[in-house]
Chain A
Amino acid sequence: GAVVSQHPSWVICKSGTSVKIECRSLDFQATTMFWYRQFPKQSLMLMATSNEGSKATYEQGVEKDKFLINHASLTLSTLTVTSAHPEDSSFYICTTSGRSRHEQYFGPGTRLTVT
């Protein structure tokens, strides 16, 4: 199956700083990637859809100026949390459909802690 990686797996940053999370598809070209956020013991909530070469589509209630998404190549999408605050602490997961529409492939997730 397709492999999706995320970097870093865990990051701690200070309040007010920005942090970038990378999502890479390792063995296929991903024209579309999805970014989800998951709070402890809760479900995955879609934040945005990342399309290669175009602007991301954000879900209602997600601040596009705070969560900057860039999908500059077919194998890399990045999520930058700008001016992070403690309430942004969460688990961020990227997914992509890969070659098959039948299944989505999940990255291992990035745990963000804002102090």
Chain B
Amino acid sequence: AQTVTQSQPEMSVQEAETVTLSCTYDTSENNYYLFWYKQPPSRQMILVIRQEAYKQQNATENRFSVNFQKAAKSFSLKISDSQLGDTAMYFCAFSLMEYGNKLVFGAGTILRVKS
């Protein structure tokens, strides 16, 4: 069975600064996806970034980037130039690569961006 661990229940960052959210996972599989999702107060889940395990290059999406360390089973999210709108709950998630596979979520990290 796969597990996802987020060890930071809450984080704060000043506007315009950089913050890194941690995530580790455990699996015996070799082909999988890793995701970071954002859940704002509306509670609609929003995909922030996705990483395919077979890709060595770290994924980036504008101000969001990941540090994917496959051997260490680590998948951290870096948010640069933090904005007030980044305030939300962030979930790290895992899924196997087969079609229609379920997501396994970490406990989440509440991120607060302060002005």
**From residue B26, how far is it (CB to closest CB) to chain A in Å?**
16
Any B CB within 8 A of the CB of A75? no
A101 touches B99 (CB 8 A): yes
B33 touches A34 (CB 8 A): no
Any B CB within 8 A of the CB of A49? yes
A43-73 interface code vs B (CB 8 A; 1 in, 0 out): 1111001000000000000000000000000
Cα distance A43–B97 in the bound complex, in angstroms:
22
B37-79 interface code vs A (CB 8 A; 1 in, 0 out): 0000011110100101000000000000000000000000000
Q: A42-B108, A43-B105 are in contact. Are A103 and B50 (CB under 8 A)?
A: yes
B99 touches A106 (CB 8 A): no
A109 touches B100 (CB 8 A): no
Interface size class of B (residues with CB under 8 A): 20 to 34
**From residue B77, how far is it (CB to closest CB) to chain A in Å?**
16
**From residue A8, how far is it (CB to closest CB) to chain B in Å?**
14
B105 touches A103 (CB 8 A): no
- Tell me which of B42, B97, B105 contacts A44 (CB under 8 A): B105
Cα distance A77–B105 in the bound complex, in angstroms:
22
B50 touches A41 (CB 8 A): no
Which A positions have Cβ atoms within 8 angstroms of B?
31-32, 34, 38, 41-46, 49, 91, 93, 95, 97, 101-104, 106, 108-109
